[in-house]
Amino acid sequence: MKHSYYILILAFVASVFTATAQQDPQYTQYMYNTQIVNPGYAGSKEALSFGLLLRTQWVGLDGAPQTGTFTVDSPIGVNDNMGLGLSIVHDQIGPANETNFTVDYSYTIKTSDEAKLSFGLKAGAHILDVDFARLNIFDQGDPRFQNNVDNKFQPQIGAGLYYHTQKFYAGLSVPNFLTTNHFDVSSLENSTLETTPQENLHYFLIMGYVFDINENLKLKPAVLGKVVGGAPLAADLSLNALINEKFTLGVGYRWSAALSAMAGFQVSDSMFIGLGYDYQSTELEQFSDGSYELMLRFDVFKKPERVLTPRFF
């Protein structure tokens, strides 16, 4: 328990001192959760699409992160050349709760008979709550922990580019151009927050390609890269196999952090269920039982032919 307390404090400090209004996305099944980091993805599936992802990180560690995301998007416009969506991300770690609500909009142009390029915008709000009473504080009279943070509101603005064909996709995005200093000395004393534009931007690169091995097997390598000023390059690599267009099996590697396993089942033409597991490749694994994810996706297709030729992303 003593070790768990120290690790929680370190994780919490790393979280609250993060210089972005949106928590850095860390999902095993990131390839199915693209809209969270790139608004250009909205409407690209040519369907009214709903997605729900639940993540429990570092199981067995008190106060470990709990994350939930919900997305909905659909093509709009006369020629379905626009997309509109909603993204919600809720994070809980220790005494802190953070929620992001964003509206995602995309405009798509055809660059060839099979390729499309989408320009996306993301705008919304970030709300932060911190209850210091949930911490095991040594000095209960410490003035820095007397004033909770309640419903602190900050705007969020982001943008992204998303290019795709039936077999390939690539995207570049900045989910938030506004930087939030969650806590510093003055914020602990006065319970205030500061927002500074264009500082420590997070750049996300996503890419994947589907190889048709035969009529019953498809392989898709994918990568999610993140670049942040003053921080090491972060990358998630994965390889998924689609079997008989029903079963998905995959493995992944989060650079210097975790090994992952994934499994999914296409319940029907519209519904997909996915599971993910992370084994920490750091010393943290000795204090936890790994991380788990559950994902549900439901698509209402406008065009029946889209069901017969799933994009696998």
DSSP letter at 189 equals H
Q: Domain 2-306: give its CATH architecture.
A: Beta Barrel (2.40)
Beta bridge partners of 90: 68, 99
pLDDT of residue 220: 96
Q: What is the mean pLDDT of residues 3-28?
A: 47
Pairing of strands 194-197, 178-181: antiparallel
Q: Between the ranges 22-26, 116-120, 298-302, where is the mean pLDDT highest?
A: 116-120
pLDDT band at 64 (very low <50, low <70, confident <90, very high): confident
pLDDT, residue 288, reads 76
Whole-number average pLDDT of the chain:
81
Is the model's pLDDT at 20 over the cut of 70?
A: no
Cβ(48)–Cβ(300) under 8 Å? yes
- SS3 of 132, please? helix
pLDDT one-digit tens code per residue, 126-178: 898 887 666 666 556 555 555 677 778 889 999 999 999 989 999 999 999 98
72-90 pLDDT, tens digit per residue, is 999 998 888 999 999 999 9
3-state helix, strand, coil split of the chain in percent (to 5) is 15, 55, 30
Q: 298 Cβ partners below 8 Å, 6+ apart?
A: 49, 50, 51, 270, 271, 272
Question: What value does the mean pLDDT take over residues 272-279?
Answer: 95
Which own/partner pairs from 277-286 qualify as long-range (CB within 8 Å, at least 24 positions apart)?
277/28, 278/28, 278/57, 278/254, 280/58, 281/256, 281/257, 282/256, 282/257, 282/258, 284/7, 284/58
**Nearest one of 173, 84, 165 to 117, comparing CA atoms:** 165
Sign of dihedral through CA atoms 87, 184, 282, 234?
positive
Least confident of 23-27, 241-245, 285-289, 299-303: 23-27
181 vs 234, higher pLDDT = 234
CA distance 46 to 299: 9
d(CA 104, CA 264): 26
Q: Bridge partners of 260?
A: 252, 278
Range scoring the smallest mean pLDDT among 51-60, 79-88, 184-193, 270-279: 184-193
Confidence of residue 181 (pLDDT cuts 50, 70, 90): very low
pLDDT at 260: 95
pLDDT level of residue 102 (50, 70, 90 thresholds): very high
Q: Hey, what amino acid is at 92? A: Q
Most confident of 4-13, 61-70, 278-287, 290-299: 290-299
pLDDT in the model for residue 72: 97
Bigger pLDDT: 256 or 307?
Answer: 256
**Alpha-carbon torsion (265, 28, 280, 238), positive or negative:** positive
DSSP 283: G
Give the side-chain half-sphere CA count within 13 A for 133: 5
**Overall average pLDDT of the 294-306 stretch:** 81
For 236-267, how does the pLDDT look when each residue is reduced to its tens digit (9 = 90+)?
999 999 999 999 999 999 988 889 999 999 99
Please give the pLDDT value at position 8. 45
Which pTM does this prediction carry? 0.83
- Give 77's contacts (C-beta < 8 A, 6+ positions apart): none
pLDDT digits (tens, 9 = 90+) for 22-49: 345 689 999 899 999 999 999 998 899 9
Reference 66, options 76, 56, 58; nearest CA is 56
Whether residue 223 contacts residue 207, with contact meaning beta carbons closer than 8 Å, is answered with: yes
> Is residue 187 scored above 50 in pLDDT?
no
- Domain boundaries in the chain? 2-306
CA–CA distance from 78 to each of 50, 168, 312 (Å)?
Answer: 22, 25, 26
Contact 27, 33 (CB under 8 A): yes
- What the block records as the tokens of 63 is 């106060």
With beta carbons less than 8 A apart as the criterion, state whether 51 and 297 touch: yes
d(CA 291, CA 238): 16
